[in-house]
Chain A
Amino acid sequence: MIKDSSKVPTYDTLGVIERVNRFSKRSIKNSSKIAGLKLALSMIDLTTLEGNDTKGKVEQLCYKAMHPHDALQGLPTVAAICVYPSMVSIAKNALQGSKINVASVATAFPSGQSDLKIKLADTKFAVDQGADEIDMVISRGKFLSGDYQYVYDEIIAVKEACGKAHLKVILETGELETLDNVRKASEIAIQAGADFIKTSTGKIQPAATLPVTYVMLDTIKDHYIKTGKMIGMKPAGGISNSKTAFQYLIMLNEVLGEKWMNSKYFRFGASSLANDILMQLVKFETGFYQSANYFSKD
């Protein structure tokens, strides 16, 4: 737990923006581009988090996860399906026989404004339904009022309720506003036992941004130097095309490097990214951009 918040490293926003702009200027071509596209596809947490999600919708999404685009040979599947707790068992059934994980949001997602008991029950329900990964939200209100201890204890409790399921901790950086807050929240989450830290719920704007993700990666890096323990990273929301995804991958490559360049340690929380990646891959195969209608919208 953060004993002295003045000891937490600070960030200069303009400096961070300048740095991430450099990542956006890398030019990725040819075979390195194909490798990057496939890697990005394999890192996707294909997501549907809507009030109107149904069995049918989730089953269709699961089929898409297993068969991103059968016309192309040698494609990886996505890493996971991300749904609400009530959809976990449906997804679990639909994904049987595949290696795709089921991730469930929990802890009064997306606001987190509920009692800890209810949050734990929410988590346990999702785990009992078969969730392999839990995406929890932190209590931003408590965090912003300076009650770091509460936030820390809550994550520890949820982590325990997760059992064997992996825990991703959503900071909802759009509500934390400053990069220094993002750093603090990242440290709290990591020290409380998060397996992954995640930017956003996708319900608040801005969702994932390059500067915020940079600060989180930097926190992961410092933690690794100090303890040797690797923490995963998941930017979520707003990453809808491969160009943007590449900026994140380049940043990952140049900040954390090869050990993190896989779906075990990096995920994209996205819904429409997959089709854009597929379109790019087909372009490499055929030399043409096909109409978006050639790619299934599930």
Chain B
Amino acid sequence: MAKKNKYFKASWSYDPAPESTDHIQLQKKYDLYIDGKFIKPENGKYFETINPTNDEIIAKVALAEKEDVDKAVKAARNAFKSWSKIEPKERGKYIYRIARLIQERSREFAVIESLDGGKPIRESRDIDIPLAANHFFYYAGWADKLEYAFPNRNPKPLGVTGQIIPWNFPLLMAAWKLAPALATGNTVVLKPAETTPLTALKLAEIIRDTGLPKGVVNIITGAGKTGANIVNHPDIDKISFTGSTAVGKYIQKTVAGTHKKITLELGGKSANIIFEDAAIDQAVEGIIDAIFFNQGHVCCAGSRLFIQESVADTVIQKLKDRMETLIVGDPLDKNTDIGAINSKRQLIIIENYIKIGLNEGGEIFQTDCKLPSKGNWCAPTLFLNLSQSHTIVQEEIFGPVLAIQTFRTIQEVIEKANNTPYGLAAGVWTQNGAKLFHLSQKLKAGVIWGNTFNKFDATSPFGGYKESGFGREGGLHGLKPYVKFE
């Protein structure tokens, strides 16, 4: 372990301040939401969704197999006939209604999101849930204005869309996919990730309560096999997937030669670049936000840090100091900065990468926080003494592990930052505006943040270059993958 700096140790420890769970309503068992109602899966199989902080079972969730996927697609196809024809402003009204109901029940959604996925309540309360509502509000506004979004091109919906979403931002990703699909007149079969299905199922309840015509949105649960059944279904017109690059490649191969359109939002190994003329203290904060937000389970996480050599020592020292003040623990505690790792499986992946980093000669630093004995936890970690050829610099870890390198010149850092198969996001920290704009043109990434990181907005498109995927979500650009032009 590296030497730790205790100069600035906090002495005032805060008593636990857990968000109450009294107000949430969860069933012991959830069925599939198909054609406007919850129905049992054909084969009667259920799987468990686990609280990652204590390995306890929260609920049992239906496992959709081929027959169920078929049923859902049929319902969506049937609903498409009328849903694609109703007055666009009526579509908008339904979407507004979904947005308002999410807002009204935001507290319940936040608690369930943290319970099921392990993310700190501060994030689910202040980021995930409000952003999800915003997404619906934003796209509700587009529903009756599509001819202005695509002037003189007569945009038409595609048909039935299959949407497969990841476990890192369960409700938000559902919103990213559902809102533009509905606004453009498509119908949906959506599958949340198997470790975090609960908020999507709560969303199904909300959708039912809005009176949305039956079959327009179908939410079915299951693991990879269920997803494969969606991807392979012949009567689906579009696949929209957010998740790992490996699965993305599989999907692209599978749909090759079919009529299906796809958009993929995949992995990343995003560069976060600190220049010597940056506001160093805020840059340090930005590094923390970039890699430790949501335990690093963020596709655009700033997992590769590049620091200009002249300020490297200062930045690293400040970063270590700051890391020591991060509170790791109960996701439902309002003071928690870093929650639990989403699943045992992911924890094993992360721990394996840490091992690889050590074996390849990286210098590790981990904070001195006490981790709970039960559940899935990983202390905030950084690695020094790395080069471009280290595995942990090249591969996506999807956890709170930061790989640090230094650089000397602008040219060098552009080359290194682009030297990756990914291209999702990048961050640039400098008080020099010209430098910032220069880099924003040279970096091959879908999102470039200037003097900030991991900021999202419904009005702003998001998506990747290279193996980070294609198609954009959010903003005007997010409508395009859901329409065809006649």
Judge whether A256 is part of the interface by a CB distance below 8 angstroms.
yes
Whether B285 pairs with A15 at a CB distance below 8 angstroms is: yes
CB distance from B123 to the nearest CB of A (A): 11
Q: Judge if A96 is at the interface, Cβ distance under 8 Å.
A: no
Q: Which of A31-39, A69-77, A80-88, A155-163 contacts B (4 or more CB under 8 A)?
A: A31-39
> Considering only CB atoms, which chain A residue lies closest to B431 in the complex?
A10
- Known interface pairs A26-B335, A27-B17. Does A261 touch B12 (Cβ–Cβ under 8 Å)? yes
Q: Mark B278-289, 1 if CB is under 8 A from A, else 0.
A: 011111011000
Known: A26-B335, A224-B7, A256-B8. A12 touches B279 (CB 8 A): yes
Instruction: Report the minimum CB–CB distance from A35 to chain B (whole Å).
Output: 7
Contact of A254 among B10, B279, B283, B452 (CB under 8 A): B10
Q: In the complex, which range does the number of interface residues on chain B fall in?
A: 20 to 34
The contact of B15 among A30, A253, A254, by CB within 8 Å, is A30
Q: Are A32 and B14 in contact (CB under 8 A)?
A: yes
Q: What is the size, in residues, of chain A's interface with B at 8 Å between Cβ atoms?
A: 35
Residues of chain A lying within 8 A (CB to CB) of residue B452:
14-15, 18
Q: Which of B268-316 contact A (CB under 8 A)?
A: 277, 279-283, 285-286
- Inter-chain contacts of B325 with A (CB < 8 A): 254
User: CB within 8 A of A18: which of B7, B17, B285?
Assistant: B285
Q: A10-B431, A12-B431, A26-B334 are in contact. Are A35 and B14 (CB under 8 A)?
A: no
Instruction: Check A27/B285 contact, CB under 8 A, given A12-B279, A257-B8.
Output: no
Q: Do A11 and B8 touch across chains, with their CB atoms under 8 A apart? A: no
Chain A's closest residue to B289 (CB) is A18
Whether A218 pairs with B12 at a CB distance below 8 angstroms is no
A9 at interface (Cβ–Cβ under 8 A)?
A: yes
Please name all residues of chain B whose beta carbon is closer than 8 Å to the beta carbon of A39 when the two chains form the complex. 12
Q: Are B281 and A9 in contact (CB under 8 A)?
A: yes
Q: Determine whether A116 belongs to the interface, using a CB cutoff of 8 Å to chain B.
A: no
Q: Contact partner of A12 among B9, B17, B122, B282, CB < 8 A? A: B282
In the complex, whether B16 has a CB less than 8 A from a CB of chain A is yes
* Cα–Cα distance between A250 and B17 once the two chains are bound (Å): 15
Contact call B14/A26, Cβ cutoff below 8 A: yes
Task: Mark contacts of B110-135 with chain A using CB atoms, 8 A cut-off: 1 yes-contact digit, 0 otherwise.
Answer: 00000000000010001000000000
Most buried by A among B10, B12, B13: B12
Q: Which residue of B lies closest to A21 (CB)?
A: B126
Q: Find chain A residues with CB under 8 A from B277 CB.
A: 10
**Which residues of A sit under 8 angstroms from B15, Cβ to Cβ?**
28-33
* Whole-angstrom CA separation of A213 from B217 in the bound complex: 51
CA distance A35 to B13 in the complex (A): 10
Point out which of B10, B285, B317, B431 has the most chain A C-beta atoms below 10 A from its C-beta: B10
For residue A292, CB closer than 8 A to chain B, the reply is no
List residues of chain A with CB within 8 A of the CB of B279. Answer: 9-12, 15
Flag whether B11 is at the interface (Cβ < 8 A).
yes
Residues of A within 8 A of B286 (CB): 15
Q: Does A221 contact B (CB under 8 A)?
A: yes
Residue A19 interfacial (CB < 8 Å): yes
B420 within 8 A of A: no
Q: Which residues of B contact A225 (CB under 8 A)?
A: 7, 317
Q: Could you say which residues of chain A place their CB within 8 Å of the CB of B10?
A: 253-254, 257-258
Q: How far is the CB of A167 from chain B (nearest CB, A)?
A: 24
Q: Does A282 lie at the interface of the complex (its beta carbon under 8 Å from any beta carbon of B)?
A: no
For the complex, give the distance between the alpha carbons of A255 and B281 in Å: 11
Chain B hits for A11, CB < 8 A: 279, 281-282
Pick from A9, A15, A35, A256: contact of B451, CB under 8 Å: A15
Instruction: Output the least CB separation between B408 and chain A (Å).
Output: 20
B14–A29 CB distance below 8 A: yes
Let me know if B431 and A28 touch, CB within 8 A.
no
Interface residues of A in 133-182 (CB under 8 A from B): none
Chain B positions within 8 Å of A255 at CB level? 8
**B417 smallest CB distance to A (angstroms):** 21
* CB-defined contacts of A15 to chain B, threshold 8 Å: 279, 281-283, 285-286, 451-452
Q: Quick check: is A25 within 8 A (CB to CB) of the other chain?
A: yes
**Residues of chain A lying within 8 A (CB to CB) of residue B334:** 25-27
Q: Which residues of B contact A14 (CB under 8 A)?
A: 451-452
- CB pair A221–B8 under 8 Å, yes or no, is yes
- Contact A257 to B7, CB < 8 A, known contacts A10-B431, A25-B334: yes
Pairwise interchain contact B14-A28, C-beta atoms closer than 8 A: yes
Within 8 A of A (CB), among B1-23: 7-17
Say whether B12 contacts A249, CB under 8 Å.
Answer: yes
A12 nearest CB across to chain B (Å): 4
Q: Once the chains bind, are B11 and A258 in contact (CB under 8 Å)?
A: yes
Which residues of the partner chain A approach B9 to less than 8 Å between Cβ atoms? 257-258
Q: Render A122-134 as a binary contact track against B, CB cut-off 8 A, 1 for contact.
A: 0000000000000
With A9-B280, A12-B431 given, is the CB distance from A261 to B14 under 8 Å? no
CB-CB contacts below 8 Å: A22-53 with B: 25-33, 35-36, 39
A16 contacts chain B at the CB level, 8 A cutoff: yes
**Within the complex, what minimum Cβ distance (angstroms) separates B107 from chain A?**
15
Which of chain B's residues have a CB closer than 8 A to the CB of A12? 279, 282, 431, 451
Question: Which residues from chain B contact A29 at a C-beta distance below 8 Å?
Answer: 14-17
Report the minimum CB–CB distance from A184 to chain B (whole Å): 14
Q: How far is the CB of B294 from chain A (nearest CB, A)?
A: 15
- Min CB distance, B336 to chain A, in Å? 10
| Pair A32/B12 contact, Cβ less than 8 Å | yes
Which residues of the partner chain B approach A256 to less than 8 Å between Cβ atoms? 8
| B121 → A minimal CB distance (Å) | 10
> Which residues of A sit under 8 angstroms from B282, Cβ to Cβ?
11-12, 15-16, 19
Residues of B within 8 A of A249 (CB): 12
Annotate B305-345 by CB proximity to A: 1 below 8 A, 0 otherwise.
00000000000010000000100000000110000000000
Contacts of A16 in B (CB 8 A): 281-282
**B13–A32 CB distance below 8 A:** yes
A31 to B16 Cα, complex, angstroms: 10
Give A31 Cβ to nearest chain B Cβ, in Å: 6
Alpha-carbon gap, A255 to B285, bound state (A): 12
Contacting residues, chain B, for A250 (C-beta < 8 A): 12
Please, which residue of chain A has its CB at the minimum distance from the CB of B321? A221
**A33 and B12 alpha carbons, distance in the complex (Å):** 10
Chain A residues, Cβ within 8 Å of B122: 25
Chain B contacts for A36, CB-based, 8 A: 12
Which B residues from 89 to 144 make CB contacts under 8 A with A? 122, 126
- A-to-B contact residues, CB < 8 Å: 9-12, 14-16, 18-19, 25-33, 35-36, 39, 218, 221, 224-225, 249-250, 253-259, 261
Q: Could you write out 19 A-B pairs with CB less than 8 Å apart?
A: A9-B280, A9-B281, A10-B277, A10-B279, A11-B282, A14-B451, A14-B452, A15-B286, A25-B122, A26-B14, A28-B15, A32-B13, A218-B281, A221-B8, A224-B7, A225-B317, A255-B8, A256-B8, A257-B7
Apart from A18-B285, A29-B16, what 7 extra A-B contacts exist at CB < 8 Å? A18-B452, A25-B122, A29-B15, A29-B17, A32-B12, A32-B13, A258-B11
The 3 A-B residue pairs with the shortest CB-CB distance, nearest first, are A15-B282, A258-B11, A27-B17
